[in-house]
Structure 1
């Protein structure tokens, strides 16, 4: 299986010429091409910095970063054809005043023929469920629609991997679920997904989890393994734990009952709580 992302012995400091006090220290991480991975950690743990290094926004002091076997410091132009990044705030990414012009912007930079551009605009708008708004002004969109527009713009070059830095943090519950459903659809079409998030319940839709703490990776494994770790271990409770996990943790701590299989079903969590309390 091909590797979508590889970090090899990567070290990074925000302080220039500081080779002793690294913010990220000796990061080793590989992500497969079929991954739907959640990158978790409290504020300041290094999640966004890791993504910036991955896209060459910041440069590592030491180590090597490859995207589909291409070094980010040597093949950035080629990598940006197959790897796309969506920012937390859509207003930081939108560059045009209408939806179709914003989506066309990236393709213009890569000299995509006009006929192909129109076809791709139709395709990506259908994926993000904004087909009926193609001619609309960007300012008329809701926050959730703007975020889906940014996702559409990131899909026009058919990327092999899509990375999203807390794309749902500024959205209400309804728009958050719309974005998640779009990401599930994109992953089912063969695109690897990395989503930086602080919403623990979003790992329900992922197959892998990476947890960062103080500039290091302290967990990498399946989402099922991470759910069990959250319930059993105090060390991950630096995160903002949703009520379903808090209840499951207390049930395991006091009754030694593990309800990890139904953790995302609030009704079943409550039923287990009443059964064993």
Structure 2
């Protein structure tokens, strides 16, 4: 598969306003994201995850190194809108993204700004709301919805712009478990339709559902691999103050007691299937 995103020796620094000193938020990070894949980025607060996300969407540009999106250099000013039309972002707090008082108007906001024809906007809005299972709420006021429903509206707004990639910056951080499940099912469904997904998260059970995981710590990429490869390194993750998914932790404890549990158990469903056999 071809690479859709290439991050090459990316360094990003910002200046502290109090004393003018430069702080390195990302330090010489390189990785690639294949077109149509699902990549998760995990790390503690302050590890550089969100800064990385904003560099991919050209909300920030590298201090040094470069980020390529579908062959476009994000640091070239003429490429910015092309990059953002290919890579949409969904943030942690949906209230910061919702701009209209009616659900369908909010979803239409992005396509309208792109100058899309009204008939095409209507089609995109209906399809996007159907895709996140919120079509029946199209005439509702967003402030009347639950947190999980609001986040699904924010996702629909991104989907209506028909991007090739969506970067989710901790989209479930403010949600209860039910809301998190709702949003993750939408993300997986979008990825199943071919949209490239980059998920910033601190929930290990969400990262376990990705094709690849990147582990960040203090601006540095510490690990990269499949969920099976990453969660086998539980001791290293714990040294970075990160945990492993509950099912992985249970599998490790059962193995320590001499019970034959195969490698590759990542989710509760995996564990249930294994134990039932």
Same fold (TM over 0.5): yes
SS at match of 1:12: strand
Aligned partner of 1:96 in structure 2 is: 100
Question: Residues 257 and 219 from structure 1, CA distance in 2 versus in 1: closer, same or farther, beyond 3 angstroms?
Answer: farther
SS at match of 1:224: helix
Tell me, in whole angstroms, the C-alpha distance in 1 between the residues paired with 2:270 and 2:88: 37
Equivalent runs, 1:30-41 vs 2, <5 Å: 30-41=32-43
Please tell me the root mean square deviation across aligned C-alpha atoms, in Å.
Answer: 2.3
Q: 2:242 aligns with which of 239, 248, 255?
A: 239
Deviations 1:101-145 (A, max 9, x none): 111111111111111110111000000000101111111111000
| Worse-superposed segment, 237-246 or 168-177 | 237-246
SS at match of 2:88: strand
How far residue 54 of structure 1 moved from its aligned partner, in angstroms, is 1.4
Q: 1:265 aligns with which of 264, 268, 273?
A: 268
How far residue 25 of structure 1 moved from its aligned partner, in angstroms, is 1.2
How far residue 228 of structure 1 moved from its aligned partner, in angstroms, is 2.0
Tell me, in whole angstroms, the C-alpha distance in 2 between the residues paired with 1:202 and 1:259: 21
Question: Residues 60 and 257 from structure 1, CA distance in 2 versus in 1: closer, same or farther, beyond 3 angstroms?
Answer: farther
Tell me, in whole angstroms, the C-alpha distance in 2 between the residues paired with 1:262 and 1:12: 36
Aligned partner of 1:109 in structure 2 is: 113
SS at match of 2:228: helix
Question: Residues 13 and 68 from structure 1, CA distance in 2 versus in 1: closer, same or farther, beyond 3 angstroms?
Answer: same
Unaligned runs of 5+ in 1: 273-277
Number of equivalent positions: 268
Is the contact made by 1:13 and 1:24 (CA closer than 8 Å) also made in structure 2?
Answer: yes
Aligned partner of 1:9 in structure 2 is: 9
Moved over 6 A (4+): 16-19
Deviations 1:165-208 (A, max 9, x none): 11111111111111111111111111010111111111332111
How far residue 245 of structure 1 moved from its aligned partner, in angstroms, is 3.4
Question: Residues 55 and 256 from structure 1, CA distance in 2 versus in 1: closer, same or farther, beyond 3 angstroms?
Answer: same
Alignment of 1:148 with 2:152, yes or no, is yes
* TM-score after normalising by structure 2: 0.89
Deviations 1:197-220 (A, max 9, x none): 111111332111111112111111
* TM-score after normalising by structure 1: 0.89
